């Protein structure tokens, strides 16, 4: 029996904008059924990497495979569910209409009761699914996007800043949903500025700074390596070390 195919394989990825290196020699592999968190400052290259994974932009060197298929191949995205950092569905759609549209891209039919149940699991009042998105608050809109992402029931989820706009209760419920998906054998890749959340639920993290991957491994080992008790302080130490090396 052959070895299992990795959900995500990134090899030697480089990306440059206007002669500025945004990503340099990025490479790592995701394990099936793990939660992986990507950490970095604004502009560090997190969203750029995600866009290359989704073939929304191209890289100059290197390559990415998703479940053994080149990310440039449309078939690679067949089993991916993606929520962008700036999720903005049409304000004229009703919540249910958006969910119906999202699932139709995967050839699936919306189960309205399942949608209401998932909304409750993500702290969204299911009754607002009959209202237009234009009436939603930022947090409600983010929850709607998450409901759609999970209803797709893909084996690989890519979530860019999924905690954005969520209050503490919604964040707790989202973390429970992520853990439930992990137990179901799904692989989750997400970025976040809320490092305590990553410390709590991630099997491994990647730290990206100035376009380079500074660390990849468990949150526990990262804190041990940086001689800090919190992920926040360990991350700041990496940033400060980077500034000293650049000086």
Question: Are 122 and 133 contacting, i.e. CB atoms less than 8 angstroms apart?
Answer: no
CATH class of 1-79+156-161+186-247: alpha beta
pLDDT digits (tens, 9 = 90+) for 43-72: 889 999 999 999 999 999 999 999 999 999
How far, in Å, CA of 242 to CA of 197, rounded? 24
For the chain, state the CA radius of gyration.
Answer: 18
Domain ranges in the chain are 1-79+156-161+186-247
Tell me the pLDDT band of 247, cut-offs 50, 70 and 90: very low
Question: Are 152 and 123 contacting, i.e. CB atoms less than 8 angstroms apart?
Answer: no
pLDDT digits (tens, 9 = 90+) for 145-161: 999 999 999 999 999 99
How far, in Å, CA of 201 to CA of 185, rounded? 15
Question: Are 216 and 36 contacting, i.e. CB atoms less than 8 angstroms apart?
Answer: no
pLDDT digits (tens, 9 = 90+) for 205-235: 999 998 999 999 999 999 999 999 899 999 9
The helix or strand, by DSSP H or E, that contains position 80, with its residue range, turns out to be: strand 80-83
pTM for the structure as a whole: 0.93
Taking alpha carbons only, the member of 87, 49, 40 closest to residue 192 is 40
């Amino acid at each position: 029996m052959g070895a299992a195919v990795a959900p995500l394989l990134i090899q030697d990825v480089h990306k440059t904008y206007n002669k500025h290196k945004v990503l340099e020699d990025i490479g790592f592999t995701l394990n099936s059924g793990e939660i992986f968190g990507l950490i970095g400052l604004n502009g560090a290259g997190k969203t750029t990497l995600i866009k290359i994974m989704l073939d929304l932009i191209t890289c100059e060197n290197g390559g990415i495979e998703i479940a053994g298929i080149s990310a440039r191949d449309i078939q690679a995205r067949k089993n991916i569910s993606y929520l962008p950092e700036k999720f903005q569905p049409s304000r004229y759609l009703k919540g249910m209409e958006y969910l119906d549209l999202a699932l139709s891209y995967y050839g699936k039919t919306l189960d309205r009761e399942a949608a209401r149940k998932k909304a409750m699991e993500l702290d969204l009042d299911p009754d607002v699914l009959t209202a237009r998105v234009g009436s939603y608050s930022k947090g409600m809109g983010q929850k709607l996007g998450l409901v759609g992402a999970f209803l797709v029931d893909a084996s690989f989820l890519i979530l860019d800043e999924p905690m954005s706009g969520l209050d503490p209760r919604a964040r707790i419920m989202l973390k429970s949903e992520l853990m439930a998906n992990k137990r179901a054998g799904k692989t989750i890749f997400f970025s976040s500025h809320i490092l305590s959340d990553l410390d709590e639920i991630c099997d491994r993290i990647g730290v990206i700074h100035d376009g380079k991957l500074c660390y990849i491994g468990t949150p526990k080992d990262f804190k041990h390596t940086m001689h800090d008790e919190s992920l926040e302080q360990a991350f700041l130490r990496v940033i400060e070390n980077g500034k000293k090396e650049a000086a």
